[in-house]
């Protein structure tokens, strides 16, 4: 039941603050992270983990990519993300101290299930991050951290994505506690950041009308590019995927630093480019680099839509449009910045008269390999 909303997708985007809040519930005690589901694996194993491999497909794989920055920083463990359908064919390196984490909203994606089975055959311990109670993938795993986003009906994944990142951050902070790699004060600061995310997503939902206008202006656009650095990079990939899947528009996401290595040749007058701008309060250097990327593409005629912290005055002279977001900690920006990109793809599809809940050629859960 759409509950009065025009589409399931709109309803589910609106539910994102709760998806994050409900995923945190029961996993934070006295300001620190304790994930009961991880305790089942035993602290000795968790302490010894020296490599994490994430397997997932599509949007779930981008949630995995976002999380690698924070988990590596907090728990000092190398994390790599492999597309589930590639994993099996690359002779993966699994040792008794490897943790394989699968991410799947449905818990039924055949590619991801087969990757998990393969990992187990090779002797890996496996955790499933899943949004569907009792689905096949969590049943085939050693442990499951369920995301509590509630049922996701629209084919395009939205609230599950933010819930997946939340669960992965809980995993990272739990590991950091067990491994003693992040001082308690810093862990608590990260927990406070996580708890502040729902309200900040609420702020991002408030810019909906402005994005709708933008989408209407761009209804005839044939190609859109997305740029991001650091945690903004997988968000650029996700913004592009949403647009392809919903509006059937050619879209590509790039790491901003990669521009000069090729993609800048695509920039021609009028091409819209979304740029995820990191707050200068986290890294002035990174911010300066992204601003100079914006100048480079603008000089070549790109139409720049900056997704930036509201107080970031440095972007104003160089952007054609600014989508303002509240300040969030550096690892938490993606949870907020993805929201306008989801809304943009949905509104552009709607402006083209397309079915946003059921795009052509796609199924909610891909149960074939
Ligand atoms: O159910 P899963 O999370 O395993 O699904 C994975 C992908 O098929 C899924 O995220 C897909 O990319 C979405 N349609 C993207 O919006």
Residues with CB under 6 A from ligand 1: 57-60, 104-106, 109, 112, 155-157, 245, 365-366
DSSP states along 279-339 = PTTT-HHHHHHHHHHHHHHHHTT-EEEEEEETT-GGGTTT-SEEEEE----TTTHHHHHHH
Transcribe 20-86 into DSSP letters.
HHHHHTTSEETTEE--HHHHTT-HHHHHH--EEEEEE-HHHHHHHHHHHHHHHHHH---EEEEEHHH
Residue of the CA atom closest to atom 10 of ligand 1: 59
**d(CA 308, ligand 1 centre) in Å:** 27
* Closest atom of ligand 1 relative to the 365 alpha carbon: 1
Residue 144 backbone dihedrals phi, psi, to 5 degrees: -135, 135
Helix, strand, coil percent content, the chain, rounded in steps of 5: 50, 15, 35
pTM of the model: 0.98
Name every residue whose Cβ is closer than 8 Å to that of residue 62 and which is 6 or more positions away in sequence: 161, 234, 235, 237, 238, 241
Give the ipTM: 0.98
Beta carbons of 205 and 14 less than 8 angstroms apart: yes
Cβ pair 299, 345 in contact under 8 A: no
Cβ atoms within 10 Å of 257's Cβ, excluding its own: 15
Q: Tokens 């299930």: give the residue.
A: 113
Point out the residues that are catalytic: 364
Ligand 1 center to residue 160 CA distance, Å? 9
Cα–Cα distances in angstroms (integers) from residue 7 to residues 88, 126, 203, 242, 343, in the given order: 37, 35, 21, 16, 12
**Alpha carbon distance 162, 164 (integer Å):** 5
CA of 185 to the centre of ligand 1 (A): 36
How does pLDDT run along the chain (369 residues), one tens digit per residue?
A: 888 999 999 999 999 999 999 999 999 999 999 999 999 899 999 999 999 999 999 999 999 999 999 999 999 999 999 999 999 899 999 999 999 999 999 999 999 999 999 999 999 999 999 999 999 999 999 999 999 999 999 999 999 999 999 999 999 999 999 999 999 999 999 999 999 999 999 999 999 999 999 999 998 999 999 999 999 999 999 999 999 999 999 999 999 999 999 999 999 999 999 999 999 999 999 999 999 999 999 999 999 999 999 999 999 999 999 999 999 999 999 999 999 999 999 999 999 999 999 999 998 888 888
């Amino acid at each position: 039941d759409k509950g009065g909303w025009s589409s399931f997708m709109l309803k589910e985007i609106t539910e994102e603050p709760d998806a994050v809040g409900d995923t945190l519930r029961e996993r934070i005690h006295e300001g620190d992270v304790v994930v009961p589901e991880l305790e089942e694996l035993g602290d000795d194993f968790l302490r010894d983990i020296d490599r994490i491999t994430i397997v997932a497909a599509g949007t779930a794989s981008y949630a995995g990519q976002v999380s690698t920055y924070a988990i590596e920083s907090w728990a000092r463990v190398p994390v790599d993300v492999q597309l589930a359908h590639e994993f099996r064919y690359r002779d993966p390196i699994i040792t008794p101290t490897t943790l394989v984490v699968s991410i799947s909203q449905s818990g039924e994606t055949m590619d991801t299930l087969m990757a998990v089975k393969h990992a187990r055959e090779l002797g890996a311990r496996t955790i499933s991050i899943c949004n569907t109670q009792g689905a096949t993938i969590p049943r085939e795993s050693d442990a499951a951290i369920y995301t509590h986003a509630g049922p996701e009906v629209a084919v395009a994944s939205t609230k599950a994505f933010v819930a997946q990142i939340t669960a992965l951050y809980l995993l990272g902070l739990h590991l950091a506690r067990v491994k003693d790699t992040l001082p308690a004060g810093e862990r608590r600061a990260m927990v406070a950041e996580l708890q502040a995310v729902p309200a900040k997503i609420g702020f991002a939902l408030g810019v909906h009308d402005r994005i709708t206008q933008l989408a209407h202006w761009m209804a005839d656009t044939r190609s859109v590019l997305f740029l991001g650095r650091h945690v903004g990079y997988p968000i650029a990939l996700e913004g592009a995927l949403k647009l392809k899947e919903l509006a059937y528009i050619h879209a590509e996401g790039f790491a901003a630093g990669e521009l000069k290595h090729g993609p800048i040749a695509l920039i021609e007058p009028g091409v819209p480019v979304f740029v995820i701008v990191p707050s200068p309060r986290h890294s002035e250097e990174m911010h300066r680099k992204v601003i100079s990327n914006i100048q480079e593409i603008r000089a070549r005629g790109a139409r720049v839509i900056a997704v930036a912290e509201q107080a970031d005055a440095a972007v104003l002279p160089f952007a054609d449009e600014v989508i303002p977001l509240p300040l969030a900690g550096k690892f938490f920006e993606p949870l907020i910045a993805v929201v306008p990109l989801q809304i943009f793809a949905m509104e552009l599809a709607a402006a083209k008269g397309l079915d946003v809940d059921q795009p052509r050629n796609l199924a909610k859960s891909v149960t074939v390999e």
